[in-house]
Structure 1
Amino acid sequence: MDIRQLRYFLAVADAGHITRAAEQLGMAQPPLSQQIKALEGAVGLALFKRHAKGVTLTEAGRALQADATRLVHDFDALHSRMQLLAEGKTGRLSIAFTSSAAAHEFTPFALRECRARHPDLVLEIGENNAAEITEAVADGRLHCGLLRVPVARPAGLAFDTLQHEPAMVALPIDHPLALRQRRGKPLPIEVADLHGEPMILVRRTGAPGLYANLLALCDEHGVQPRVMAEVARMLTNLNLVAAGTGISVVPSSMLGVHRHAIAYRHLVDHGRLEVPLTLVYRSDDNVGPTATFTTLLKTLAGALPAAAPRRTTPRQ
């Protein structure tokens, strides 16, 4: 017994005549009769009474009709759900962001657009550091993630840059570098100004990323900042800056966090420390809901200009 035979059975039961049912199904009468006989053989019961005007259901046929109707309906519904899943119109999507990626204005904008355009997609959202997100995507625990500078590039993962923004120096509000002015305007920070300064970094030891790039830039200039702490998340980093523990370099989209305690200054790096917003996903699993999400984000990013610092005047 298979779903095709059940469809044939229901068509004959509805038409009350094998020839008319065959015409409605677009097939010849003999093959349809063979399929009905095969179904009766499979269940071990006669399902129709044959007579000159056509066929009528037996008691066993009436019993099968109710179950067959339910099974065919459920099968069709299952097929439709799987087709929608394959097309990426429905399903579950597990994604995660770093705290600095979540702070970028593109991220909530993209999530709103996804929910508006694909209301049947269920988004399961989490937060973690870049290393953990990358590992979770590689292991299949996440479908995709948003982070800044990739800290690792495992085989099989795709890393698409969606946006760029400049880096800024975050300093305690009373730090001497934060107090420097010229004609009433705060001065930008030169790489040389970081020499000997206590730095707070957000990275895994030995892993490349924004802060590894920063240290490499310092090294090129003969500058030796003092690494005071390495933390897992950007907001922890800024909490420590606000507490006066040290200074840091952050994406410009973080400007405004702890404004009562942190001054943000432009870093003169000639574009060397531009901070990306990076989408990571498995290249061989970019189908269904994942493909819907990644395609949407790349489309939205392509239609927007690269992010600039928020229109907030740096604290004096």
Structure 2
Amino acid sequence: MAVIELRRLRAFVTVVAEGNITRAAEKLFMQQPPLTRLLKGLEDEFGVALLRRLPRGVETTDAGNLLFQEATKLLEQAENLTNTMQRVAKGDRGSIAIGFTSSSALHPFVPQVLRRYRDIYPAVTTQLDESGSGELLQALLNKKIDVAFVRMPVSGMPELKSDQILQEPMLVALPDKHRLAQENDAPVTLTELVSEPFILYRRLAGQGLYDAILAACFRAGFSPTIVQEAPRLTSCLSLVGAGLGVSIVPASMARLGGEGIHYRPLSADSGLFASLYLAQRKESKPSPVIYTFCELVKSLLAERQG
């Protein structure tokens, strides 16, 4: 229905509600003659009389009463549609697909973002996707997700961008019967792990953490003996708990606990930290939903730093 037709219906509804053309014209901020012509045109369009002129106003005919009821519903729907479109334009409505790695989900910041976003934008449908960093970046490229919390920066993907949002320390995960698990909980140096069998998060899924651990070991003067690569950090911990080796994981992973696992901090001279990045597609003008999500992340980071 054209805008002019909605305008005519709105004028008709106002006239009926007021019961008087003069008062309706004042409410519509228009002169009475144009309003009278508008009503006459509406009657000509439908081919029926809609109003009866009374000495002190107007009343609807049967056809006019039916039109009043239907026009009122239609105008309410149009108003709701307008409000919905405005909310979509502001990022208050729509949908967003958010990816995250298993380790990033364990960091308190990520659940905080998701909870706050849901509280502020309850009308936005949120789809969550857990996977490895490499897989999530590929999903971003393929437009299967909109943003992702990953453990590696974007590299070799000009269509994507990433921002480091935080760093956390790394821990050594040890079988609870390991000799280092029997000592105090002072920081462990990498050189104490020279002869240990390592269990690492598979490089394809977690390139950032994998490469950082190997580089730190090389700086410490050795190449780690990797006996197993697991598809998830949680799988790494399961293998550590089974006594198959040691691993180095982000500190937030300790929240999982894990039977048969003892955690010790890694010494600061290792230079090892686990970074968390927010990745998204490079777009000159991202959708309002993506924009508001990223702005919320920035706001919560500012609160955290404050």
The verdict on a shared fold, with TM-score over 0.5 as the criterion, is yes
Aligned residue number for residue 237 of structure 1: 236
Shift of 1:73: 0.8
Taking the TM superposition and a 5 Å limit, the aligned residue runs for 1:3-14 are 3-14=6-17
The verdict on how the C-alpha distance between 1:70 and 1:272 changes in structure 2, with shifts beyond 3 A counting, is: same
Deviations 1:272-297 (A, max 9, x none): 32212322334536444433333222
Aligned residue number for residue 249 of structure 1: 248
Aligned residue number for residue 269 of structure 2: 270
CA contact (8 A) 1:170 1:263 kept: yes
Look up the equivalent residue of 2:131 and give its one-letter code: N
Taking the TM superposition and a 5 Å limit, the aligned residue runs for 1:1-316 are 1=1, 2-50=5-53, 53-150=56-153, 152=155, 154-179=157-182, 181=183, 185-195=184-194, 197-205=196-204, 208-268=207-267, 270=269, 272-284=271-283, 286-305=286-305
CA contact (8 A) 1:200 1:228 kept: yes
Look up the equivalent residue of 1:25 and give its one-letter code: L
CA contact (8 A) 1:166 1:271 kept: no
Deviations 1:107-143 (A, max 9, x none): 2333333344444444433422222322333433333
Look up the equivalent residue of 1:291 and give its one-letter code: Y
Unaligned segments of structure 1, at least 5 residues: 307-316
Q: CA RMSD in A?
A: 3.0
Alignment TM-score, normalising by the size of structure 2: 0.83
Q: d(CA) in 2 for partners of 1:44 and 1:282? A: 55
Deviations 1:204-245 (A, max 9, x none): 439741111222333344421123333332111111111122
Q: d(CA) in 1 for partners of 2:173 and 2:153? A: 21
Look up the equivalent residue of 1:301 and give its one-letter code: L
CA contact (8 A) 2:99 2:130 kept: yes
Q: d(CA) in 1 for partners of 2:198 and 2:232? A: 15
Moved more, 13-22 or 116-125: 116-125
Unaligned segments of structure 2, at least 5 residues: none
CA contact (8 A) 2:171 2:265 kept: yes
CA contact (8 A) 1:189 1:267 kept: yes
Q: d(CA) in 2 for partners of 1:35 and 1:246? A: 84
Moved more, 142-151 or 2-11: 142-151
Moved more, 199-208 or 125-134: 199-208
CA contact (8 A) 1:88 1:292 kept: yes
Q: d(CA) in 2 for partners of 1:155 and 1:212? A: 21
The verdict on how the C-alpha distance between 1:147 and 1:48 changes in structure 2, with shifts beyond 3 A counting, is: same
Query: Share of identical aligned residues, percent?
Result: 37
Moved more, 281-290 or 76-85: 281-290
